[in-house]
Structure 1
Amino acid sequence: MGAAAAADAPVVAQGINGSLTLAVAGAGAAIGIGMIGGKAVEAVGRNPGAFGNILTLGIIGMALAEAVAIYALIIAFGGR
C-alpha cells in the first residue's frame, strides 16, 4: 500500500501545481481587470467627452489581462 501511494505522488503534485498556476493567474487577471475598470471610470469622470476612446482602450486592456488567465488554464490542463 505504501508503494502505490508513492507512485501516485507525482500525479497529485501535478494537480496541485496546476491549481496553483490557475489561482495565481486568475488573481492577477482579476486585479488587472479591476484596475483597468476603475481607472476607466475615473477617466470618464474627468473627461466625459472621451468616453468612446476610453471604452475601446479599456476593453482591449481587459482582453489582454484575461488572456493571461487563459494561457495559465491551457498550461495547467496541458500536463506541464
Structure 2
Amino acid sequence: MMMELITAASEVAATAAPVVASGVNGSLTLGVAGAGAAVAIGMIGGKAVEAVGRNPGAYGNIMTLGIIGMALAEAIAIYALIIAFGGR
C-alpha cells in the first residue's frame, strides 16, 4: 500500500506543474508526520494500559501523563500541517 502511494505521488509530481508538485510534497510530508503521530499515540496508550494493569492505584497519575504525552505527539502532526500548507 505504501509503495503504491509513493509511486502515485511520484507520477503526479513528474507530470504536474510545480505548484501541484509542491502540494503533493506537502501532502506526503503531512502523511508521514501524521503516521508518526498515530504510532506514538498508540504506543503511549498501550503502555498506559499496561501500567494501569500493573498498578491500578496509580490510574490518575498515569492517565494525566498519558494525556499530556498524547497531546505532545499530536502537536507534531499539527506543526507538520502548518509547515506543509502554511506557505500558500
TM range (shorter): 0.7 to 0.9
Counterpart of 2:87 in 1: which secondary structure?
coil
The alignment yields a C-alpha RMSD, in angstroms, of 1.3
Show the counterpart of 1:32: 40
Q: Determine which structure has greater relative contact order: mean sequence separation of CA pairs < 8 Å that are 6+ residues apart, divided by chain length.
A: 1
The answer as to 2:68 corresponding to 1:50 is: no
Q: Deviations over 1:55-77 (max 9, x none)?
A: 00000000000000000000111
Structure 1 CA distance for aligned equivalents of residues 78 and 86 of structure 2: 12
The answer as to 2:35 corresponding to 1:23 is: no
Write out the 4+ residue segments of structure 1 that deviate beyond 3 Å after TM superposition.
none
The answer as to 2:79 corresponding to 1:75 is: no
Number of positions where the alignment pairs a residue of Structure 1 with one of Structure 2? 73
Instruction: Report the alpha carbon displacement of residue 12 of structure 1 after superposing the two structures with TM.
Output: 1.3
TM-score by length of 2: 0.79
Percent identity over the alignment? Answer: 88
Question: Does the CA-based 8 Å contact 1:29-1:65 persist in structure 2?
Answer: yes
Structure 2 CA distance for aligned equivalents of residues 60 and 15 of structure 1: 32
